[in-house]
Structure 1
């Protein structure tokens, strides 16, 4: 039983750290998060970071996080989220 309690505490700490990290990224405009909805229910998200590639000498988008809930997988939602990110005009972020 103590192992479950310590795991729960660890999860709560990680959730708080994650929320703080995401809030800081959004406040500093380091990244954008796009959320997918199906029938007014959140079903996934993608987090994109805007950067510049010295190799291609152009602005770039880094897809760092992509999540789709289990009940919504295999329905093309992840593909749509990635496609949305791919089609973003990245010049406005530079």
Structure 2
């Protein structure tokens, strides 16, 4: 089962989010991650979908964190699927697929035709899922980041 997260989900969501950032070689910091997610939820700055198993709907086992933005080239809204994570103990059960499907349904609801994401080059399991779900790896554009200090 997937649904939109609410403030009551914050503790469980933070636990999963903390695992997610550690996966990407960032330090664990429950308090900082909790404050970040709380701010996104309270200020409606992101859409967060959470997943649970049907037999235990109160236990969150995955999430998708999405930002809505715009594309000048598409002249439309696009969704940035910024973070997708499923608890390692329940992977390969279709949870990631359900979260992506929920994101796709949300995109259609908004009238957006594009969902964009990035993942680590070494994250082969995620890449396999994204290809399976119809994502196409972009080879035309490069992605650049500038760290501002």
TM-score using structure 2 length: 0.50
In 1, distance between residues paired with 2:65 and 2:52?
A: 15
In 2, distance between residues paired with 1:60 and 1:90?
A: 9
Equivalent position of 2:100 in the other structure: 82
Larger Rg: 1
Q: Which runs of 5+ in 1 are unaligned?
A: 1-9
Equivalent position of 1:3 in the other structure: none
Question: Is residue 2:78 matched to residue 1:60?
Answer: yes
Equivalent position of 1:46 in the other structure: 64
State the 1:90 CA deviation.
Answer: 2.0
TM-score using structure 1 length: 0.77
Q: Which runs of 5+ in 2 are unaligned?
A: 1-26, 112-149
Q: Which structure's residues are more often helix, by fraction?
A: 1
Alignment partner of 1:87: what SS?
Answer: helix
State the 1:29 CA deviation.
Answer: 0.9
In 1, distance between residues paired with 2:101 and 2:74?
A: 21
In 1, distance between residues paired with 2:40 and 2:60?
A: 21
State the 1:15 CA deviation.
Answer: 1.1
- Alpha-carbon RMSD: 1.4
Equivalent position of 2:43 in the other structure: 28
Runs of 4+ in 1 over 6 A off after TM superposition: none
